[in-house]
Structure 1
Amino acid sequence: MKLKDNHKLTLYSCYIGYITQAIINIFPPLVFIMFQKNFNISLTQIGILSSFNFAVQMIVDFLSIKFIDKIGYRVPIVAAHIFSALGLLLLGVLPFYIEPYFAMLICFFINAVSGGLIEVLVSPIVEALPEKQKTKAMNILHSFYSWGSMLVVILSTLYFNIFGIENWGYMSMLWALVPFINIFLFSNVPLNVLKTHEDNMNANNVVSIRKLLSVKIVLVFAVLMICAGASEQSIAQWVSLFAEAGLNVDKTIGDIFGACMFAFCMGIVRLIYGMNSENIDIKKALLISSFFCVIGYLITVFSPYAFLSLIGCAVSGLSVAIMWPSVFSLSSKIYSKGGTAMFALLALSGDAGCSLGPFIVGLVSNNIYNNFSNNIIESSLKIGILFAVFFPVMMFIVLLFFKNSKTNS
């Protein structure tokens, strides 16, 4: 079968797309400790890097609403992988030749453009495939972000132990090979267009952002996506530094039992849930996941033992796993007229949460750290994470009202 006729290969390309996004989101936090030690970058500046990444992704999400339906999926999805390959290559080189923090902002910007396009495009590409079990396909798709995160943590940790973390720049350049492969795949696989009306295949596939913002249920989904993104990334972006500097755990152990376990828990839940999601009440599942996310955060913050704090991170990974993909699937099921524009709006909202959550953790932690003794970095990071518990709490409250509401349009 030729590439242009192989829809399975399209799905596999989307899987690699999410692995690519995992690389650009997860690899930099693994070397935050080096940014802090070698380049004298503060906790606030590190938080700004994470927030800047997702803020740029959010802007890309918004702009993509205007042009993706007009130019199609192929050009922007190929461009996304070109940007990610370039950004990873530059991240391994640029900070050593120009002002480090400015260099990082440049690389984070390039990668963020890629991440924003990937987030907006892969979900509707999968949704447009000739596949009946959309919720199942969507959850399995999003599980690959988690498997990609695990892959990044394990292989990067192995590299650091063999060649030394001080040589992290070369690892960044090696990771650029993944998006480079996907440039070729997305240039050739078949890409269908997602229709805004299931019963009218000839309808114009453009829904205005003004129309979407006037639909109350879409705004509810947007709020849920903000909470989902913040709940996930407030832990994911800080767990590596938190384990090493905050809990005084060896970096290898911290990354494996912190960042890697968080990703594993996310991935396994998304995979299991994806295989059975057609028979699960999505609203109820989201309500349960937000509740346990709060529990995970509280264990992480208030546990007097490092091991239990890492278990709290794992519980958070278990609980946030279904949030992002299930809100996508639920929105498509309840408001099927949204089309690509709604996916872009929801991705924008999710990235807003991804930007806001880590920024709050960094800002609060740095303020606590600077105003008291330098020996309480553990407490400062825990207080920062505690502030972010607002997001799963808010999600639980919104879902509670939503579950009892009969509004479906």
Structure 2
Amino acid sequence: MTETRWNYNRTLYASYLGYVCQAIVNNLAPLLFLTLQRTYGISLGQITLLVTFNFGVQLLVDLASTLFVDRLGYRRCAVIAHVCCALGLAGLAVLPELLPHPYVGLLAAVCLYAVGGGLIEVLISPIVEACPTEKKDAAMSLLHSFYCWGCVLVIALSTAFLALLGSDSWRMLPLLWALVPAANAMLFSRVPVNSLTPEGGGMSVRELLRSSGFWLLALLMVCAGASELSMSQWASAFAEKGLGISKTLGDLAGPCFFAVLMGLARVLYAAFSDRISLLGFMRGSCVLCVASYLLAVFAPHPALALLGCGLCGLSVGILWPGVFSIAAGRMPAGGTALFALLALGGDLGCSSGPTLVGFVSERAGGVLQAGLLAAILFPLVLLAGSFWLRRILPERH
């Protein structure tokens, strides 16, 4: 029994590191947005397209994974996912120099690591859900907190690296970060991995698509992803360009502060989940999310605007893992298809939220505050949708 527990602990460690890898692929490029713009002479719209392309590819992978994940198995797909992440990160440094047009090289690298990121999002949550552990909602929240700690690690170490060696050395960063998913690919090749449901026992995609409860959960996931990424993807550029703060200070006080508070929210819920209503906690978080966006946009002083960025991280912390936990509890037969389609919804939000911010900002003459104000739509819709859960998808006892 002790040996079995230790083996599954290693599975959990690999899963935690998997979310660190996803944090790397989702957050490294945004730290380099303005550097890439200066280096290759690309527009704000093209920078926005990198975000859209990243999560658009992840969305397609989420959808396609329903066709092959159960057939290939969780372990093999997890290894493939991490190899793609490693190749894509390395390509971010190499491909723009090899291909005739640097922007095509950037898109190719983003495509590679987006395939890995999409598979990680589909696989890791059901792998942890299938582990023999108690308090599944707490375990899910703790798992997703490692995405936040990965964000902090990426932001802090990358910022320190660029501050010490200069922005001209930026190409070394993705090469170094590529070592993390490469190592985790080897770890996932060795740890025990269970299936979420017996073969053929989960709901089919057709069955899920016929369920009104699934569509409500999917809407909540779209809004959760958009509420989080609308701020986190633009926090660095917002601090540097919108507030006139230096890149080093802006990265630490903007996206890094955001990630720390997001992780803190997930750890606190994991610690006190038996005393806190998940749905009530999510509703309060939506209200705080709206307030934090308003503070970031309308604050008269940069320090208050950065406080709004950080509070946004605290507010969105529970939204994504919370929807996963609700789905697992209220649709237990959903299986891999449920997690894959919800990940698709989340990635649709991760793509549409930052894209909306970018395009609204560009139409407003490059004023990022205008785009962030438009993003308030997402937590408001999530809040409204949460009140329909009991009617459409009653809690199981």
Shared fold by TM > 0.5?
yes
Unaligned runs of 5+ residues in structure 1 are 196-201, 370-376
- Hey, what does 1:169 align to over in structure 2? 171
**Aligned in 2, Cα 1:367/1:271: closer, same or farther, shift over 3 Å?**
same
Is it true that 1:23 corresponds to 2:43 in the alignment? no
Deviation per CA, 1:149-195, whole angstroms, max 9, x where unpaired?
00000000110011112211101100011001101100000001111
Cα distance in 1 for residues equivalent to 2:332 and 2:3: 32
Q: Quick one: which of 143, 146, 149 aligns to 2:145?
A: 143
Q: Quick one: which of 369, 388, 391 aligns to 1:401?
A: 388
Deviation per CA, 1:190-232, whole angstroms, max 9, x where unpaired?
001111xxxxxx5623421110011111111100000000000
Cα distance in 1 for residues equivalent to 2:5 and 2:162: 40
- Hey, what does 1:295 align to over in structure 2? 291
- Hey, what does 2:62 align to over in structure 1? 61
Which residue identity is paired with 1:165?
Answer: S
**Aligned in 2, Cα 1:3/1:167: closer, same or farther, shift over 3 Å?**
farther
Secondary structure at the aligned position of 1:92 is classed as: helix
Cα distance in 2 for residues equivalent to 1:279 and 1:238: 34
- Hey, what does 2:331 align to over in structure 1? 335
Asked if the contact 2:213–2:392 (Cα under 8 Å) also holds between the matched residues in 1, the reply is no
Which residue identity is paired with 2:320?
Answer: W
Count of residue correspondences: 394
- Hey, what does 1:373 align to over in structure 2? none
Q: Quick one: which of 351, 355, 361 aligns to 1:355?
A: 351
Is it true that 1:97 corresponds to 2:93 in the alignment? no
Deviation per CA, 1:247-278, whole angstroms, max 9, x where unpaired?
11011110000010000000111111112223
Asked if the contact 1:362–1:384 (Cα under 8 Å) also holds between the matched residues in 2, the reply is yes
- Identify which range, 37-46 or 357-366, moves more after superposition: 37-46
Asked if the contact 1:360–1:387 (Cα under 8 Å) also holds between the matched residues in 2, the reply is yes
Residue 38 of structure 1 and its aligned partner are, at CA, apart by 1.8
Cα distance in 1 for residues equivalent to 2:393 and 2:139: 27
Is it true that 1:250 corresponds to 2:246 in the alignment? yes
Residue 279 of structure 1 and its aligned partner are, at CA, apart by 3.0
Residue 68 of structure 1 and its aligned partner are, at CA, apart by 1.0
Asked if the contact 2:329–2:395 (Cα under 8 Å) also holds between the matched residues in 1, the reply is no
- Hey, what does 2:318 align to over in structure 1? 322
Cα distance in 2 for residues equivalent to 1:14 and 1:211: 29
- Hey, what does 1:306 align to over in structure 2? 302
Is it true that 1:345 corresponds to 2:346 in the alignment? no
**Aligned in 2, Cα 1:361/1:315: closer, same or farther, shift over 3 Å?**
same
Unaligned runs of 5+ residues in structure 2 are none
Deviation per CA, 1:311-366, whole angstroms, max 9, x where unpaired?
00111100000000010001111111101110001000000000000111111111
Q: Quick one: which of 277, 282, 285 aligns to 1:286?
A: 282
Secondary structure at the aligned position of 1:93 is classed as: helix
Pairing of 1:198-237 with structure 2 (within 5 A): 204-237=200-233
Asked if the contact 1:138–1:325 (Cα under 8 Å) also holds between the matched residues in 2, the reply is yes
Asked if the contact 2:296–2:306 (Cα under 8 Å) also holds between the matched residues in 1, the reply is yes
Which residue identity is paired with 2:37?
Answer: Q
Q: Percent identity between the aligned chains?
A: 46
Residue 403 of structure 1 and its aligned partner are, at CA, apart by 5.1
- Hey, what does 1:374 align to over in structure 2? none
- Identify which range, 162-171 or 320-329, moves more after superposition: 162-171
Which residue identity is paired with 2:368?
Answer: L
Which residue identity is paired with 2:372?
Answer: I
